[in-house]
Structure 1
C-alpha cells in the first residue's frame, strides 16, 4: 500500500478515481489502483466515456453485438457503460461491504441533455439505477435548478445520488437542502432514512477561468479558497440541529466530494489540489496522472481548516481584480453542462459510426 495515499485514507478522506475504461478493467489497472493506492471508488462522465469508447477496439465486439440486436443511440451506450460500471462496482464491493456502504461507489451520469428537465431526470435516474442492479452505484444529477428538484425526488424514491457540477458554497447548499428534504420526506412517510449521496464540488476550473484576469502570483488560489469556503459550510451543516435529528433517525451524511482536482497549470505543482484539499469526511476524485504523481511525491502538510481559514480574504482579493465569484459560479456550471452535452453528442455520433462500420449498416 502506497504510504502517501494511505495518509489521506488515515485522516478520513477517500480517494476515488476520476476515470474508467474497459482497458483498465481488462488489464488489471483498476484492481492495482485499489490494491496499491487506496482507491475506494470511481466516477465517470460523458467526456470520460467519449475518450474510452472512441479509442481502440475494446468496445467493438459489444457494439457490434448490440447494434445487430437493434440497439442504438443512448440505449446502446447505456449497455456499454453499465457493463464497465458493473464490473467496477463488483471490484469495489468488498470495500463497500466492509465500510458499511460509506465507500466503494461508482457513478453513472444521466444524459446531460436532461439537465433542465427535472421530470425526465427523475424517471431516468430510477430506471438506470434499477438496470445497474448494484447497491454501490450512484446516479449523477447536476446541481442545476432543475437538478435540485430531481435530486430531492430521487432521494425520496431511494435512488443514491451523486450531485455533480457544483461550483460554489451556494450551489452546494442548494444540493444539500434537496438531500435533506428528500430524507425528511422519507422519514415522514415511514421509510428508511438511509439513502446515500455525495455532493461534487469542481475546483480547478475556477483557476482556469481566471488565469488571464489576475497577476501570476494570484493564480491557482481561487479554487482552493472556494473549496475551503464550501468545506466550512459542509461541516457547519453536519453540526446543525436539523442534521443531528436526521442522523438520529438513521440518515448518513451527504459527503462532500472534491472533483476536477488535476492541476491544469504546468507551472504549478502537479499535486497542488490533492495536498490542499486533504480533509476528513470528504472524497477526492483524481485522474490517473495525478494519482500516480501523488503516490510518488505527494505530501499532506495540513488538513483543510474547519473555519475556512483564509478563504474569504483570498476571495476578496480576487474581487479586486474584477472577479464576481457568484456570477462566475453560474457561468462555470453552465459551461460544464454544455461541455458534457457536447461530449454526449460526440459520444453518440462515434457509437453510431462504429456501429455502421462494424455491421456494414448505413450510419443513422
Structure 2
C-alpha cells in the first residue's frame, strides 16, 4: 500500500497546495486523485502568480477577457475562477461521498484586504456567489481584522479557509470566530453545517530562526507549534460549547497544516508530512512534496493528543531567546506582506500579458 494511501487511511486528508491550468487539462490532478489519495486543493496569490507567469495556457483566456474590457483584478478573478471551478468539479465526487467533509478547493480574497474587515467580507460574498460551487472554500486571513469577517462569512453560510495562522493562539481565535458564526446560525434557525478549515503555517517558523538557535533545535520549532495547536484543536472540539453545536448539526472546523514543504536542504523533504500525521486534520502540500512522500515517505507515529513534548521543547526555544508570541505576530505580518508582494507582481503580469497579447493579435 502506498504511503499516501496509508496516510489517508489513518484519517488525514492530503490536499495539493498548487493549481495550474496545465495541471487541470493534462489529467495530472485527476491522476493525483485516483492514485495518490489527494482529496482537496489550496491556492494562494503566489501560486497563481507563478502559474500565469510561467505558462502560455492562460494567454487566450486573458486575451479574450481583456478585449471584453476586463483588466487587472477583475480579469484575474475571472481567470482564476475558471481554474477553481474546474478543480472543484474534479473533487465533487469526494465532496459528495464524504457529505462535505472533504473534497474542497480554496480561493483567496485579495491580500490587499487583510486589514479591512468590511471589504474582506464583501469580497468573500462576491467570490462565493461567482464560483457557484458548494465545495469551494473562500480564504480569509486570520488577522485581527479578518476575525470579524470570518464570523460574518460563516453566519452567511460561506465556507471559509482561515489562512495565515501561526500559533495555537492564532488558531483558537480563528476557531472561536468560526464557532460564533455557527452559533448565530443555530440561534437563527439556519443549518449550522458550514464547511471550514483553519490553516496553520509550519515551515516558516523553522526558516525564521535557523540562524538564531543551536543546530540541535533546527527544524523542530514548527512541529512543536503544530503539536501545541493540535492539542488546542482537540480540546476545543471536545468542549461542551462545541458538543452543543454538534448536537444541532454543526461540523467541526478542521485543523489544516500549511506551508509543509521543507525549506532546509539538510532536512528530510517529507519532514512536515511524517511528523504531522494526525487523524481528522488536513495536510496541504506542494506538488514536489506530494511526489516525494509517494516515492519514499513512511507513516509512523501520529501526533500525541496531549501535546507530547511540545511545551518542554518550546521552553528550550525560549531559553534560546526565541519569543514565540512575538515571532508569531511577525510571521503573520510577513506572510500577509509576502502575499501582497505576489499579488502586485501578479497584477503586473496580468497587465503586461493583456497588452502584449492584444497587440500581437
TM-score, normalization by structure 2: 0.99
The correspondence of residues 78-227 of structure 1 with structure 2, limited to 5 A, is 78-227=77-226
The aligned counterpart of 1:350 is 349
| Cα displacement string for residues 50-83 of structure 1 (whole angstroms, at most 9, x for unaligned residues) | 0000012100000000000000011100011000
Tell me, in whole angstroms, the C-alpha distance in 2 between the residues paired with 1:222 and 1:317: 10
- Aligned to 2:282, the other structure's residue is in SS state strand
For structure 1, which runs of at least 5 residues remain unmatched after alignment?
Answer: none
- Aligned to 1:121, the other structure's residue is in SS state helix
The correspondence of residues 290-309 of structure 1 with structure 2, limited to 5 A, is 290-309=289-308
- Aligned to 1:145, the other structure's residue is in SS state coil
Alpha-carbon shift at residue 306 of structure 1 (Å):
0.2
Question: Is 1:262 paired with 2:261?
Answer: yes
Alpha-carbon shift at residue 152 of structure 1 (Å):
0.2
Tell me, in whole angstroms, the C-alpha distance in 1 between the residues paired with 2:55 and 2:189: 50
The aligned counterpart of 1:245 is 244
The aligned counterpart of 1:230 is 229
The correspondence of residues 36-75 of structure 1 with structure 2, limited to 5 A, is 36-75=35-74
| Cα displacement string for residues 131-152 of structure 1 (whole angstroms, at most 9, x for unaligned residues) | 0000000000000001001000
- Aligned to 2:6, the other structure's residue is in SS state helix
Give the number of equivalent residue pairs: 360
- Aligned to 1:360, the other structure's residue is in SS state helix
Tell me, in whole angstroms, the C-alpha distance in 1 between the residues paired with 2:319 and 2:273: 27
The aligned counterpart of 1:284 is 283
Tell me, in whole angstroms, the C-alpha distance in 1 between the residues paired with 2:326 and 2:122: 31
For structure 2, which runs of at least 5 residues remain unmatched after alignment?
Answer: none
Tell me, in whole angstroms, the C-alpha distance in 2 between the residues paired with 1:61 and 1:211: 44
- Which has the larger displacement, 59-68 or 292-301? 292-301
Alpha-carbon shift at residue 325 of structure 1 (Å):
0.2
Tell me, in whole angstroms, the C-alpha distance in 2 between the residues paired with 1:27 and 1:301: 33
The aligned counterpart of 1:29 is 28
Calculate the aligned-residue CA RMSD, in Å: 0.8
The aligned counterpart of 2:321 is 322
The aligned counterpart of 1:13 is 12
Tell me, in whole angstroms, the C-alpha distance in 1 between the residues paired with 2:55 and 2:250: 44
| Cα displacement string for residues 239-266 of structure 1 (whole angstroms, at most 9, x for unaligned residues) | 1000000000000000000000011000
TM-score, normalization by structure 1: 0.98
